[in-house]
């Protein structure tokens, strides 16, 4: 079984959301976009009762719940081993079961009956609801079979999801806060369950530990001068009790429970020394929960049981070299994986149709869109964007503002300029510049890249040259169904290399000599933007070594660094919904080609 659809209403920062999930599903988005809220919503509707924490004011959208307000979360489970309601009586019956639904995996439709081709998947809807009781100042929650139910608190004959069915779902959550050092110990409930389910309790050893604790020959009450205090207390006890009842001190209560809880995991550290696991680094401590749940998943898989694993930022405290193994283990052992991440490395190990972008508007309406709807686009340029450059694309899509440059060399230049800016920016408390993403556009497919990404709903800004090809891209972009609010363009006939030329334009003989050394002593006028820009565009367009050397002199030369800062600040001024008139003087509106839907801006900093 797996969770195929999720609807959320009035929960935390999400006022409403409808999400279609795949069997391997990863959430990307900028900070505060709603990723954690979605993971928690899934936990409320699928998780065990012991995992459901208390609901409070701030769990309601707006943080001011009224008696009539409801948190409503609905999940659609499908993928039953047998696609027949009659053979799943524990799930579908008139006494304590749900109502059978039929799910179209292609369209996401939920129907009441199977189709003639028997192509739909048997499904059941499970809901979670919460309300605020103002008279008692209490929050009430309920989980139930939810098909067609508007308000479960006003519904008679509501059918709750039993513990047995909840166990069959097999949902487990790895939260982002996982720094408890004793997760792999008998103090941990989940560790005990892993051991119990596999009938692997080391009973004889624990029994012996208990006896050893009781028969401790090294009692601290025997050591002077502590012994003198104990002896005096023993005399007082004898005086009151009328008999000898000598005190002795043991490390624990010396019962089975204490013996189990006293067991601490150790790992071999440097110098061939055993060190408690909790004294190792954050990575190993964080890894405990994941390893334990993977062992639980291995057991459930071996016994043909369901295992749905949701994890917030599974990459926490782990270096990128471990990410591939981590995701491979998670995917290999789980019926379904639901992941939220800030790591483009993690996202790159998922298929394009499994990567989902989360965007939440100010009114709380949330949109979750797959990177591609189904398969990777057939065009080579877009295929590379979503396969070879999936990591870079995923990284860009984690931002709220995304630049789509004209091609791959422009992508590299802009990325390196941002790096140069960060290297030289220093610390200025008045600096409010925000980061932006850059798409690794392939083969000048700026229009096709915009088309493919525009349905996601993020703020996309195409950035094109000022030549004839760039003018053509502007025309085509304005004709898109989802029109860009802004298109950025360089000056007439200029490429991005002319902008680079302006940045590195020498101010003296020494700076000119540095440029000549990098550019192979080419015989041009190094003090002229057009000549220098044309050279960079013709001879060094994809010469990455030269690009790096030019970036290096930008970082080393304060005048060049200031120009880079001016460019980044100009890009920063453009925000979603801003008044184009406020963008002067850095940007000039091209009134001849701008429309009511799309403002074309010409860069005017050089």
Residues 256-268: what's their mean pLDDT? 85
Q: Is the pLDDT of residue 90 over 80?
A: yes
For residue 354, name the pLDDT band (cuts at 50, 70, 90): very high
pLDDT band at 268 (very low <50, low <70, confident <90, very high): confident
- 434-487 pLDDT, tens digit per residue, is 889 999 999 999 999 999 999 887 899 999 999 999 999 999 999 999 999 999
pLDDT band at 358 (very low <50, low <70, confident <90, very high): very high
Q: Which two tokens stand for residue 336?
A: 């379904």
Residue 353 near residue 336, CB atoms below 8 Å: no
pLDDT band at 259 (very low <50, low <70, confident <90, very high): confident
Is residue 567 one of the residues assigned to a domain?
Answer: yes
Distance of alpha carbon 305 from alpha carbon 301, whole angstroms: 6
CB atoms within 10 A of CB 107: 9
Of 136, 156, 174, the position where a domain reaches its end is 174
Please state the φ and ψ torsions of residue 26, each to the nearest 5 degrees: -125, 140
> Contact, 108 vs 82, CB < 8 A?
no
506 and 593 assigned to the same domain: yes
Residue 596 lies in a domain: yes
Residue 82 CB-density burial (10 A; 0-12 exposed, 13-18 middle, 19+ buried): exposed
Domain range for 10 is: 2-174
Spatial neighbors of 7 by CB under 8 A, at least 6 apart, are 16, 17, 18, 19, 72, 73, 74
Of the pLDDT bands very low, low, confident and very high (cuts 50, 70, 90), residue 291 is confident
* Local structure of residue 362 (DSSP, 8 states): T
Last residue of a domain, one of 114, 147, 174: 174
Please state the three-class secondary structure of 12-24 as a single string. CCEEEEEEECCCE
47 and 127 share one domain: yes
Using alpha carbons only, give the angle 174, 180, 183 rounded to the nearest 5 degrees.
75
Q: What is the pLDDT, as a whole number, of residue 215?
A: 87
Domain end point (choices 209, 244, 279): 244
SS (H, E, C) 224-238: CCHHHHHHHHHHHHH
Query: Minimal CA–CA distance to 475: which of 601, 594, 603, 596?
Result: 594
The answer to whether 162 touches 79, Cβ cutoff 8 Å, is no
Cis peptide before 138 (omega within 30 of 0): no
Q: Which residues pair with 275 in a beta bridge?
A: 267
Q: Which helix (H) or strand (E) holds 507?
A: none
Q: Are residues 234 and 110 part of one domain?
A: no
Round to whole Å and give the CA distance between 424 and 559: 11
Domain co-membership, 456 together with 581 = yes
Indicate the average pLDDT of the chain: 90
Q: Are residues 415 and 534 in the same domain?
A: yes
Cβ neighbours of residue 212 closer than 8 Å, sequence gap 6 or more? none
Q: Tell me the helix, strand and coil percentages in the chain, rounded to 5.
A: 40, 20, 40
Average pLDDT over residues 183-195: 70
- Going from the C-alpha of 177 to that of each of 39, 286, 567, the distances in angstroms are 13, 8, 39
Same domain? For 413 and 552 the reply is yes
Handedness of CA 358, 360, 361, 362 (dihedral sign): negative
Residue 237 in domain: yes
Asked if 364 and 353 count as a contact pair (C-beta separation under 8 A), the reply is no
pLDDT digits (tens, 9 = 90+) for 102-139: 999 999 999 999 999 999 999 999 999 999 998 889 99
Q: What is the dihedral of CA 42, 46, 47, 48, to 10 degrees?
A: 160
Cβ within 8 Å of residue 15, ≥6 positions away: 9, 61, 363, 364, 365, 366
Same structural domain, 234 and 111 = no
Q: Does residue 182 register a pLDDT over 70?
A: no
CA distances from 366 to 41, 128, 150 (A): 13, 19, 21
Angle in degrees, CA 65, 71, 75, rounded to 5: 170
In a domain, 180, yes or no: no
- Residues 41 and 147 grouped into a single domain: yes
The fraction of the chain above a pLDDT of 90, given in percent, is 62
pLDDT of 494 strictly over 60: yes
* 117 Cα distance to chain centroid: 38
Main-chain dihedrals φ then ψ at residue 126, nearest 5 degrees: -120, 135
Is the pLDDT assigned to residue 376 strictly greater than 70? no
Check if the beta carbon of residue 605 is closer than 8 Å to that of residue 573.
no
Do 234 and 145 have their domain in common? no
Distance CA 485, CA 487 (A): 7
CA distance 378 to 350: 18
How far is CA 312 from its chain centroid? 6
Does residue 383 contact residue 377 with C-beta atoms inside 8 Å?
Answer: yes
Q: What would the pLDDT profile of 91-112 be if each residue is shown by its tens digit?
A: 999 899 999 999 999 999 999 9
The pTM assigned to this predicted structure is 0.83
| pLDDT of 429 strictly over 60 | no
Tell me the C-alpha distance between 491 and 573, whole Å. Answer: 18
- In CATH, what number is assigned to the domain containing residue 48? 3.40.50
Residue 169 lies in a domain: yes
118 and 228 co-located in one domain: no
Length of the chain: 606
Largest separation between any pair of C-alpha atoms in the chain: 111
Residue 252 lies in a domain: no
pLDDT tens digits along 508-524: 999 999 999 999 999 99
Whether 393 and 386 have beta carbons less than 8 Å apart is answered as yes
User: How many distinct structural domains can be found in the chain?
Assistant: 3
Query: Side-chain half-sphere of 422: how many Cα atoms within 13 Å?
Result: 9
Do 234 and 88 share a structural domain?
A: no
Residue 370's pLDDT is what? 93
The pairing of beta strand 274-276 with beta strand 2-11: unpaired
Q: Does any domain span residue 277?
A: no
Whether residue 383 is found in the same domain as residue 464: yes
Confidence of residue 243 (pLDDT cuts 50, 70, 90): confident
Q: Per the domain annotation, does 212 fall within a domain?
A: no
Q: Are strands 599-603 and 587-589 parallel, antiparallel or unpaired?
A: antiparallel
| Residue written as token pair 């409801």 | 70
Query: What is the spatial distance between Cα 363 and Cα 403, in angstroms, rounded to a whole number?
Result: 25
């Amino acid at each position: 079984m797996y969770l195929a659809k999720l609807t959320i209403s009035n929960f935390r920062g999400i006022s409403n959301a409808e999400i279609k999930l795949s069997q391997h599903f990863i959430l990307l988005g900028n900070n505060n976009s709603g990723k954690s809220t979605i993971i928690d919503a899934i936990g409320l509707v699928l998780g065990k009762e012991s995992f459901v924490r208390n609901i409070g004011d701030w769990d309601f959208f707006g943080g001011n719940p009224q008696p009539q307000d409801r948190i409503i979360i609905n999940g659609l489970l499908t993928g039953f081993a047998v696609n027949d309601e009659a053979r799943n009586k524990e799930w579908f019956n008139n006494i304590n079961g749900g109502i059978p639904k039929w799910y179209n995996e292609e369209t996401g439709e939920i129907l009441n009956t199977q189709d003639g081709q028997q192509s739909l998947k048997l499904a059941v809807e499970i809901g979670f609801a919460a309300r605020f009781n103002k008279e008692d100042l209490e929050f009430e929650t309920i989980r139930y079979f939810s098909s067609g139910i508007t308000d479960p608190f006003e519904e008679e004959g509501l059918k709750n999801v039993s513990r047995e069915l909840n166990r069959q779902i097999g949902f487990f959550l790895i939260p982002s806060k996982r720094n408890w050092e004793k997760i792999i110990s008998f103090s941990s409930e989940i560790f005990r369950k892993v051991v119990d389910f596999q009938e692997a309790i080391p009973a004889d050893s624990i029994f012996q530990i208990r006896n050893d604790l009781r028969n401790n020959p090294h009692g601290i009450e025997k050591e002077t001068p502590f012994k003198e205090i104990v002896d005096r207390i023993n005399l007082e006890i004898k005086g009151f009790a009328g008999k000898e009842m000598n005190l002795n001190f043991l490390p624990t209560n010396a019962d089975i429970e204490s013996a189990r809880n006293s067991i601490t995991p150790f790992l071999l550290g440097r110098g061939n020394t055993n060190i408690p696991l909790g004294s190792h680094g954050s990575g190993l401590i964080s890894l405990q929960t994941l390893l334990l749940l993977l062992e639980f998943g291995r057991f459930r898989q071996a016994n043909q049981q369901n295992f749905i694993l949701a994890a917030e930022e599974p990459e926490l405290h782990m270096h990128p070299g471990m990410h591939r193994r981590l995701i491979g283990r998670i995917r290999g052992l789980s019926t379904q994986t639901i992941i939220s991440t800030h790591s483009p490395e993690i996202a790159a190990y998922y298929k394009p149709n499994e990567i989902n972008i989360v965007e939440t508007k100010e009114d709380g309406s949330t949109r979750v869109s797959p990177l591609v709807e189904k398969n990777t686009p057939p065009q080579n340029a877009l295929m590379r964007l979503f396969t070879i450059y999936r990591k870079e694309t995923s990284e860009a899509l984690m931002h709220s503002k995304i630049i789509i440059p004209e091609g791959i060399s422009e992508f590299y230049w802009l990325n390196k300029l941002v790096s140069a800016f960060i290297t030289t920016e220093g610390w200025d408390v008045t600096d409010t510049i925000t980061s932006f993403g850059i798409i690794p556009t392939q083969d000048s497919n700026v229009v096709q890249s915009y088309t493919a990404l525009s349905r996601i709903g993020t703020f996309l800004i195409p950035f094109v040259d000022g030549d004839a090809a760039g003018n053509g891209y502007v025309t085509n972009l304005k004709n898109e169904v989802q029109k860009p609010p802004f298109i950025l363009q360089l000056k007439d006939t200029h490429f991005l290399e002319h902008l680079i030329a302006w940045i590195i334009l020498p101010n003296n003989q020494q700076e000119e000599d540095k440029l000549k050394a990098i550019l192979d002593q080419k015989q041009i006028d190094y003090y002229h933007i057009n000549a220098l820009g044309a050279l960079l565009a013709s001879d060094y367009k994809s010469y990455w070594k030269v690009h790096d050397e030019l970036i290096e002199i930008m970082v080393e030369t304060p005048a060049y660094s200031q120009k880079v800062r001016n460019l980044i600040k100009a890009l920063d001024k453009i925000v979603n919904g801003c008044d184009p008139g406020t963008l002067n003087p850095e940007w000039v509106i091209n009134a001849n080609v701008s429309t009511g839907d799309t403002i074309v801006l010409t860069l005017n900093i050089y």
